[in-house]
Chains A and B, each alone.
Chain A
Amino acid sequence: GNSVTQMEGPVTLSEEAFLTINCTYTATGYPSLFWYVQYPGEGLQLLLKATKADDKGSNKGFEATYRKETTSFHLEKGSVQVSDSAVYFCALSDTRGSNYKLTFGKGTLLTVNP
């Protein structure tokens, strides 16, 4: 079955530090890959996505590249801000079969200190 493994948190950084949150996946088909962000007291918001190998998703300074050879979709940002403090979820959606289902990682809590 499909699964997503992301690095366990919490991750604590100082403002302007470089961020990497690792995500690897297992899928039987050809998944689309997503990063969602959850701010305190809110629902999940789509941060970025990639639908095929070597695609790079980007938004708000965050980037992730779909690496089929390493089955990875690591999230990066060059300079984090206090406002980036949130929980980040990696997810996949199989494009064949049950393509409505999102399989989520367990989430990584990021705290950015001023």
Chain B
Amino acid sequence: DAGVIQSPRHEVTEMGQEVTLRCKPISGHNSLFWYRQTMMRGLELLIYFNNNVPIDDSGMPEDRFSAKMPNASFSTLKIQPSEPRDSAVYFCASSLFVGTSNQPQHFGDGTRLSIL
């Protein structure tokens, strides 16, 4: 079975440029999560979607970050304009929400983002 697929795997760009990260969740999963991982702060939840609707975006750092989920099989995380402090590994994860709880989350391999 295909897991969570993220693209690109690596992105290097200059400060001020727009960055778009992409995620394809596992087919049939109805919850999607975007995380950011840095040495200083560890893993941080940025935003959570359920049935394509953003439920909790309290972890989004600031207005430069935005996320969309136009359908059940695709999500994007956009940074505009990008800054060097946005450099991190960004993970997408998906899970199945059943009843009142989420099943364990499945993670993609991440996008390593470097802003110069």
Contacts and interface: CB of A to CB of B under 8 A. Distances in A.
Interface of A: 32, 34, 36, 41-46, 49, 89, 93, 95, 98-102, 104-107
Contact of A44 (B56, B102, B107): B107
B56 A98 contact: yes
Given A42-B109, A93-B102, A100 B42 contact: no
B72 interface: no
Interface stretch (B43-51, B61-69, B78-86): B43-51
Interface of B: 4, 31, 33, 42-43, 45, 48, 50, 55-56, 91, 93, 95, 97, 100-102, 104-110
The 8 closest A-B pairs by CB, nearest first: A43-B107, A44-B107, A104-B43, A106-B42, A46-B104, A43-B109, A100-B102, A99-B101
B45 A44 contact: no
Nearest to B50: A100
22 contacts: A36-B107, A42-B109, A43-B91, A43-B107, A43-B110, A44-B43, A44-B93, A44-B107, A46-B106, A89-B43, A93-B101, A95-B101, A99-B100, A100-B31, A100-B97, A100-B102, A101-B45, A101-B56, A102-B45, A105-B42, A106-B42, A107-B42
Given A95-B101, A99-B100, A100-B56, A45 B107 contact: yes
Q: Could you say which of A36, A43, A45, A95 has the most chain B C-beta atoms within 10 Å of its C-beta?
A: A43
A105 B42 CA distance: 8
Nearest to A39: B109
A43 B42 contact: no
Given A43-B107, A44-B43, A100-B56, 8 more contacts: A43-B4, A43-B110, A46-B106, A89-B43, A99-B102, A100-B31, A100-B97, A104-B42
Contacts of B110: 42-43
A106 B48 CA distance: 20
